Amino acid sequence: MLRTLALALLATTVACGSTGGGSAAKPSTSTSSVGSAATVRLTSPAFKDGGPIPAQYTCDGSGQSPPLAWSGVPTGTASVALRVQDIDTAQKFIHWIVYDIPPSTTALAGGQIPPGARQTANSFGKQGYGGMCPPAGARHRYVFTVLALQTELTVSDQGSPSELWSTLERSAVVGKGELTGTYQRGGS
C-alpha cells in the first residue's frame, strides 16, 4: 500500500514538473505521451529485429546483456531508459531496466552500462541484467524498448520493475524505439 502510494506521488510529481523532493532533477517543459513520441531506431549488432538472440546473452551462456545501439534521440532529451521484457509470459517478465542513461549515449557494449546510469532489480529480484531463460523447447519473444525522456529521475528501488517502468512511461517521453529478439532453449 505504501509503495503504491509512494509511486503514485512520484508519478504526480514528475508529471507536474516539480523539482521538489528530488523526484525530477530536470523538469519537463512539455509532456508527450508515448503514442506521439518520436521514433528512436534501436538495433543490435548481435541479432536482427525479429531474429534469434545468441545463447551467450542468455542463461545458457555468460548471461551478459547484448550490445545495443540507437539513433534519432530528439533534441531536448535529458535521459534515456531501456527495458528488456519477455512478452510471452503471463506476468511480462522484465529482464533488465536501465535508466538515467546520459542522452549523449548512443550505444551500450555487451555487459556494460554507461557511467551515471542506474539499474533496478529485474523480475528475478536481482539488480541488473538477467539473461533470457524460457522453459526448454519454448520460443519466447523479448522486446527491448528505449525511451527518450525530458527528465532525469530519482526513484525508489523499493517498487517492482513493472511499477518503475510505468513511472518512466509517464515521465515526458519524447522518443521511443523497440527491437524484438527471440530465444528458444533446447529440449521439449
Q: Mean pLDDT over all residues of the chain? A: 80
Q: What is the pTM of this model?
A: 0.77
pLDDT for position 90: 87
pLDDT for position 169: 72
pLDDT for position 60: 95
The string over 88-120, giving b where at least 16 C-beta atoms fall within 10 Å of a residue's C-beta and e elsewhere, is eeeeebbbbbbbbbebebeebebeebeeebbbb
Query: Which segments of 23-84 does DSSP mark as H helices, in order?
Result: none
pLDDT band at residue 23 under the 50/70/90 scheme: very low
Domains located in the chain, CATH noted: 2-184 (3.90.280.10)
pLDDT band at residue 5 under the 50/70/90 scheme: very low
Which of these ranges, 143-147, 162-166, 179-183, has the smallest mean pLDDT? 162-166
